[in-house]
Amino acid sequence: MLSELSVEDLLRKQKRLRRQFLENQNGMRELRIAVLGGVTTAEVVDLLELLLLDAGFRPVFYQSEYNRYFEDAVLEPEKLVEFRPEIVYVHTHWINARNNRLGAAATAAELQEAVAAELARYQEIWNSLHQTVGCNIIQNNFETPPVGLLGNSDCVSDSGRTRFIWELNLAFSNAASKDPKLSIQDLNSLAAMIGHAQWYDWTRWFSYKIPTTPEASLAIARSTAAIIGAIFGKSKKCLVLDLDNTLWGGVIGDVGPARIEIGKETALAEAYTAFQQYCLDLRGRGVLLAVCSKNQEEIAREGFAHPDSVLKLEHFSAFKANWEPKHQNIQAIATELNLGLDSFVFIDDNPAERALVRAQLPMVLTPEVGSDVSLYPAILQATRCLESVRLSKEDLERADAYAANAARASSAAKFADYGAYLDSLQMSAEIDLFSPVYLDRIAQLINKTNQFNLTTRRFTYAEVEEMSKSPDAIPLYGKLTDSFGDNGLISIVIGRRDGVALHLDLWLMSCRVLKREMELAMLEVLVERAGACGIERLIGYYYPTAKNKMVEEHYGQLGFSLESSTGEGSIWSLNIAGYVPRTRHIAILQKAAAANL
């Protein structure tokens, strides 16, 4: 695991590690990254390459010549366009920022003018990149200068360089909040975390135009890899938590629920309370919580009835307290939540349990958290495994949606006939062509759905946007609402027209709406739309992966006929002429139709 190697080892063994990764490159996804630098970017890129290889990508880089970032992006973008990047990382430094023109007597107006001018220069870069290559952009903000000429008042004075950087960073954040294809890398916080004394290295700046220490370069590379991972849906989705000495102090089976350490009475109790609050805050932004503890279930549950417990039973999407080995429980949780094992992080104070899970389930991230709970939030943040590009409405409501699912499951048990159960859900689906307001969610779903995914093709936000405008594409999204709540946007089908045939490049669905006949509703709208454009045949593809066996028979079940089948997958077709709609339990709304009501 690369995370255990020091920067010294990484740089020293870089060439060999790279060679070894590339020798076992089966199934690694090529990722084309252009790095436009205001400084020498080679060291950061070498480290980033290793981190991305470790994350299962096969990165290919384009690097601008030293300090030619503006020229490459704006004036002579030909080489960049030819490279066809999927990500452009604009890695500039405050040294590149043109703030020196502010004299000591600068006024407030002059400061604002200088900030606006510098922002405009970057906007020219971003806009040009949008127009020429159209892919996701990662732009770092800036560390504050290590020496404020005015000392403390450098952050106050209109001529202060620290003040200038603060204002510019805020302007970058404002710009990025309005631009879904622009991600800001918070270099300022990164430098603060490491400390300027360990961040800057002026010998290297003057010798090689690298302004940072190797340690800082590694921190930059890790943060960049995390953003890229998040863009391509590799962030973790569920935190699996041990109980005794992880969520509270003491062994609840020994001391009893009244005597566990939680609350405000002791320093230790406060630290456990703070960690519970951190977990609850993560849940609020879309991370699922699950319990995996060696305990008697009734006793374990009593811990959350403690009046000082911040976490309550209803906050957990899965709860496993028994004496089975933990790796088996985590597998059971994965099945229950319909998530791949690589979506999980496991937190346990017991090093033996961590070692077991790490050995049995290497795809589960098991950080070395140690036994001091006060450090857990910082250790977990440092893994950057929960990075999110931007929060969508679905993220904010996800944990509650899973809770509603549990309610649906328990009500399903009461119906003898499954159809009657589906009717009782009073489902209605909105199925329509991609529209701009959903593009964020669509890109997110495309990049993280693994199980109900026929082709597992990934598309970036930029590609999704392009498809939504293409005359030869029928890109459909589906949203499903039922009596328990709104499931949000949960299905995507992308058809590509070729004469009278429509190739289904993508068909995916979130597992939270499995067995609801949503796929029948999607097919119905697809057939209708395709028929209206004169298409006669739908061609479906199934490409098997380690995770999508559940949809092996998807097209067969929808009434497609098998055309051919090889080890690499199967091809299916459906003639529109003979199609009979089969949706029985979902009312379908198309926005165009709904508007006429």
List residues near other proteins by CB under 8 A.
8, 11-16, 19, 42-43, 46, 202-204, 206-208, 210, 214
Among 243, 238, 231, CA closest to 341: 238
What sign does the dihedral 70-71-75-76 (CA atoms) show? negative
CA 18 – CA 44 distance, rounded (Å): 14
CB of 57 to other proteins, least distance (A): 21
CA 160 – CA 48 distance, rounded (Å): 34
Pick the closer one to other proteins by CB: 63 or 162: 63
Among 354, 296, 353, CA closest to 323: 296
Pick the closer one to other proteins by CB: 42 or 251: 42
CA 129 – CA 197 distance, rounded (Å): 34
CB of 166 to other proteins, least distance (A): 30
Pick the closer one to other proteins by CB: 14 or 123: 14
Pick the closer one to other proteins by CB: 11 or 341: 11
CB of 16 to other proteins, least distance (A): 5
CA 317 – CA 319 distance, rounded (Å): 7
CB of 95 to other proteins, least distance (A): 16
CB of 189 to other proteins, least distance (A): 25
Pick the closer one to other proteins by CB: 204 or 326: 204
CB of 91 to other proteins, least distance (A): 16
Q: How many degrees, rounded to 5, is the angle at CA 127 between CA 122 and CA 128?
A: 100
Q: Is residue 68 within 8 Å of 118, Cβ to Cβ? A: no
> SS3 letters for 543-565?
CCCCCCHHHCCHHHHCCCEEEEE
CB of 85 to other proteins, least distance (A): 21
CB of 210 to other proteins, least distance (A): 7
CB of 84 to other proteins, least distance (A): 25
CA 46 – CA 70 distance, rounded (Å): 22
DSSP assignment of 162-190? HHHHHHHHHHHHHHHHT-TTEEEE-HHHH
Cα distances from 163 to residues 97, 99, 114, 291, in angstroms, run: 13, 10, 12, 46
Pick the closer one to other proteins by CB: 9 or 400: 9
CA 492 – CA 481 distance, rounded (Å): 16
CB of 31 to other proteins, least distance (A): 22
Pick the closer one to other proteins by CB: 206 or 543: 206
CB of 158 to other proteins, least distance (A): 34
Pick the closer one to other proteins by CB: 20 or 381: 20
**H/E element holding 222?**
helix 214-231
Q: Where are the beta strands (DSSP E) in 407-447?
A: 427-433
Pick the closer one to other proteins by CB: 46 or 423: 46
Pick the closer one to other proteins by CB: 15 or 582: 15
Residue 512 is given by DSSP the state G
Among 110, 112, 114, 119, CA closest to 99: 114
Q: Using only the alpha carbons of the chain, give its radius of gyration.
A: 26
CB of 216 to other proteins, least distance (A): 12
Residue 29 β-bridge partners: 57
What sign does the dihedral 354-358-360-364 (CA atoms) show? positive
Pick the closer one to other proteins by CB: 210 or 502: 210
Torsion of CA 480, 483, 484, 486, to 10 degrees: 30
CA 461 – CA 479 distance, rounded (Å): 19
Pick the closer one to other proteins by CB: 19 or 549: 19
